[in-house]
Structure 1
Amino acid sequence: MKFLEHTSFDSINDFLNHVNLGECTVSGNLEAYSCKHTGTDRRLSFSLENQILDSLGQSSDSDRSSPGEILSSRSSRKTLIYLVLTLSHIYPDYDFSAVRAHLFFREEGWESFKLTFDTYMFETAKEWAEANGGSTLLESLYKALDEVVKLSECEIYSYNPDSDGEPFLEKGAIWAFNFFFYNRKLKRVVSFRCCCLSNLAVDGFISDELSDKEDAEIFDEMDM
């Protein structure tokens, strides 16, 4: 997978870098990746494929947690591997299991994405409109995504892991969502993720860090 720079994402990423809403702060990011494998990707892809095939061989019809028919086709396995590879590039320190990851991915449509966006990003969208002459954040997002991955040709997936599979929730997180837009023809994936952090929790975390640092400095100055 290769990170792709697209200027069409710049204004949205700059805005979503830090949106202070008073009691909380929203941050988000759009990233595009080519599905062309690097040397590391080939090894990881091979490992993920073997994980899935081993799980398919061990699974039973009554085992709802197994990949089952969902990953029985080469095409569906390939899609999952691309999505997991994208996650691995975004969070290189986290070890994603393909067998577990398939439980957390769900195929969506634009309307379900829009519903999630409208639910969580309402106040953020108001800030965007005020800063951009009344233009809507969702329309700007649609235009940018369409330019990079042609939404009419995309499969859309949400990623909703349990706590053990969630590498990106920071301290004080109130909510987070993660979507992937995959265009098979272009062999390209765009990740869009947003997180909302409590400013009170973050401020408390910083205060704790400063207090710990001050305590450490006091002990360093004491004669033991």
Structure 2
Amino acid sequence: MKYLEYTPLDRINDFLSRVTLGQRTIEGCLEAYSCKHTGTDKKLSLSLENEILDHLGKSSDTDSSSPVEYLFSRSSRKTLIYLLLILHHMYPDFDFSAVRVHEFFTEESWDSFKQIFDVYMLEASKEWLQENEGGSLLETLYKALDEVVKLSECEIYSYNNPDADADPLLEKGAIWSYHFFFYNRKLKRVVSFRFSCLSTLVSEGFHLDESSLEEDGEIFDGMDM
């Protein structure tokens, strides 16, 4: 997977690297990748494919409700492998098992993404409007994504590992965190977008217990997700 540079993404990344809200910071990062194999990608891709096929061969459950059912489709396996290759590039020291991780991906729509973004990035969006003219943060994000991966042709996936202690994507001190992938099959291109809210107390070395995190989380209570 080859990292691609796009100026519209850089502008948003620069903003999301410095949003401070009292004892919390909002961080975000957009990264574009070509799905063309580079370096060890081909070897890793083959290894992941064999891992999946071996697992399918051992599974006798082909019911439509089975979590591995969609992996019988070669196209679905290919999509999963692309997403896993990107994760490998982002976190090279972590072993992403295709059999284990595939359950962490959920297909989304732009509307479901927008709903999450509108709720959790509300304060960051206000900061954006104070610094920028000519459109909201979401509108700017939409235009940037559309330029890079043509949103109307995209498949959107979210990543959520239920085991926070074993999730390399979850940063220390994270109050909440989201990771989305915008995949254009025709262009063979993916944009990864992760954004999170971090406690500055943790980053500054202070101890933060669970009750403190719960208090921070209360700002979202009552919001319709």
TM-score tier, shorter chain, comes to 0.7 to 0.9
Q: Once the two structures are superposed, what CA deviation does each residue of 1:14-69 show, in whole Å capped at 9, x if it has no partner?
A: 00012101120011100000000013000000000011001111123289996532
Q: Once the two structures are superposed, what CA deviation does each residue of 1:167-200 show, in whole Å capped at 9, x if it has no partner?
A: 0222211010000000010000100001111112
* In 2: Cα distance, 1:197 partner to 1:65 partner: 36
- Please tell me the residue identity of whatever aligns with 1:189: V
Corresponding position of 1:53: 53
Q: 3-state SS of the aligned residue for 1:182?
A: strand
Which structure has the larger Rg?
1
- Please tell me the residue identity of whatever aligns with 1:199: T
- Please tell me the residue identity of whatever aligns with 1:42: K
* In 2: Cα distance, 1:204 partner to 1:39 partner: 38
* In 1: Cα distance, 2:205 partner to 2:12 partner: 29
Corresponding position of 1:31: 31
Supply the RMSD in Å over aligned alpha carbons: 1.9
Corresponding position of 2:174: 173
* Residue 201 (structure 1) aligned with residue 220 (structure 2): no
Number of aligned residue pairs:
206
Corresponding position of 1:10: 10
Gaps of 5+ in 2: 208-225
The answer to whether the Cα contact below 8 Å between 2:62 and 2:69 also exists between their aligned partners in 1 is no
Corresponding position of 1:114: 114
* In 2: Cα distance, 1:86 partner to 1:102 partner: 14
Instruction: Please identify which structure carries the higher helix content.
Output: 1
Corresponding position of 1:157: 157
Corresponding position of 1:187: 188
Call closer, same or farther: CA 1:26–1:43 in 2, change over 3 Å: same
Call closer, same or farther: CA 1:31–1:132 in 2, change over 3 Å: same
The answer to whether the Cα contact below 8 Å between 1:67 and 1:99 also exists between their aligned partners in 2 is no
The answer to whether the Cα contact below 8 Å between 1:59 and 1:66 also exists between their aligned partners in 2 is no
Corresponding position of 2:72: 72
- Please tell me the residue identity of whatever aligns with 1:187: K
Deviates more, 1:196-205 or 1:102-111: 196-205
Q: 3-state SS of the aligned residue for 1:39?
A: coil
Gaps of 5+ in 1: 207-224
Q: 3-state SS of the aligned residue for 2:107?
A: strand
Deviates more, 1:51-60 or 1:159-168: 159-168
TM-score by length of 1: 0.87
Corresponding position of 1:101: 101
- Cα displacement (A) at 1:205: 4.3
- Cα displacement (A) at 1:160: 0.4
The answer to whether the Cα contact below 8 Å between 1:52 and 1:67 also exists between their aligned partners in 2 is no
TM-score by length of 2: 0.87
